[in-house]
């Protein structure tokens, strides 16, 4: 890891995503501007289904804190449970672009619940869910297409068809769907 600082713009980062029995041990993290130093991450072309079956505070794609340069694109989130949405920008989520995503069946398709969420762009979304919440500041939401049931327009169907495992890895579906 390189030291944090304004010249390098690289920050030490210790992150776990949906971890189980993970250990972060013997690390040193210091001199970062805050504890949410993520930037330039891309969440692209994923299929995310049946999440939040027990917990209530989360989303299919969940962000927390500033995320300069983050791109969330081409994802399909289906059958969300819990209280929030397919795409959930929590406290302080900022500088994120959500683009060309699909939300299929959820309590809400988008949730930006508080004014600490700011300066995000949500473009070309497709959803069969009317509910959404935008209490954020300087949030640009453009070209949201609401559909009835599963009547996805061609652009949404193209996202659905392209998301998920690439054909070379399709055999992995058998591991999850015996």
Half-sphere exposure of 133 (CA within 13 A, CB side): 17
Contact between 45 and 77 (Cβ < 8 Å): no
Q: Residue 4: helix, strand or coil by DSSP?
A: coil
Instruction: Identify the pLDDT of residue 40.
Output: 86
Give the residue extent of every domain in the chain: 42-163
Tens-binned pLDDT, residue by residue, of the chain (178 aa)? 344 444 334 433 445 455 556 665 656 666 666 655 678 889 999 998 887 666 666 778 889 888 899 999 999 999 988 778 899 999 999 999 999 999 999 999 999 999 999 999 999 999 999 999 999 999 999 999 999 999 999 999 999 999 998 888 888 877 766 5
Q: What is the pLDDT of residue 114?
A: 95
DSSP symbols for 91-125: TT-EEEEEES-EEESSSEEEEE-STT-BS-EEES-
% helix / strand / coil in the chain, to the nearest 5?
10, 30, 60
CA distances from 172 to 26, 94, 176 (A): 34, 34, 7
**Of 90, 89, 158, 101, the residue nearest 127 (C-alpha):** 101
pLDDT of the residue at 17: 52
Tokens, residue 146: 């609401």
What is the greatest pairwise CA distance in the chain? 52
Contacts of 160 (CB under 8 A, 6+ apart): 76, 102, 152
Chain Cα centroid distance, residue 51: 13
Q: Choose which CATH entry (3.30.1120, 2.160.20, 2.60.40, 1.10.10) describes domain 42-163.
A: 2.160.20
Q: DSSP secondary-structure letter at 6? A: T
The per-residue pLDDT for 25 is: 61
Contact between residue 110 and residue 135 where contact means Cβ atoms under 8 Å apart: no
pTM passes above 0.85: no
């Amino acid at each position: 890891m390189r030291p944090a600082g304004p010249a390098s713009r690289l920050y030490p980062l210790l992150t776990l995503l949906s971890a189980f029995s993970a250990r972060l041990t013997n690390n040193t993290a210091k001199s970062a501007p805050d504890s949410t130093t993520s930037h330039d991450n891309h969440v692209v072309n994923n299929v995310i289904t049946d999440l939040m079956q027990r917990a209530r505070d989360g989303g299919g794609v969940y962000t927390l804190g500033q995320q300069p340069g983050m791109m969330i694109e081409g994802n399909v989130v289906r059958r969300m449970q819990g209280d929030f949405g397919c795409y959930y920008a929590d406290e302080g989520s900022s500088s994120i672009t959500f683009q060309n995503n699909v939300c299929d069946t959820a309590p809400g398709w988008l949730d930006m619940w508080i004014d600490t969420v700011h300066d995000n762009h949500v473009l070309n979304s497709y959803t069969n869910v009317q509910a959404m919440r935008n209490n954020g500041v300087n949030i640009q939401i453009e070209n949201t297409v609401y559909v009835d049931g599963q009547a996805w327009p061609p652009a949404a169907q193209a996202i659905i068809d392209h998301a998920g495992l690439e054909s070379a890895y399709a055999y992995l579906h058998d591991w999850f769907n015996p």
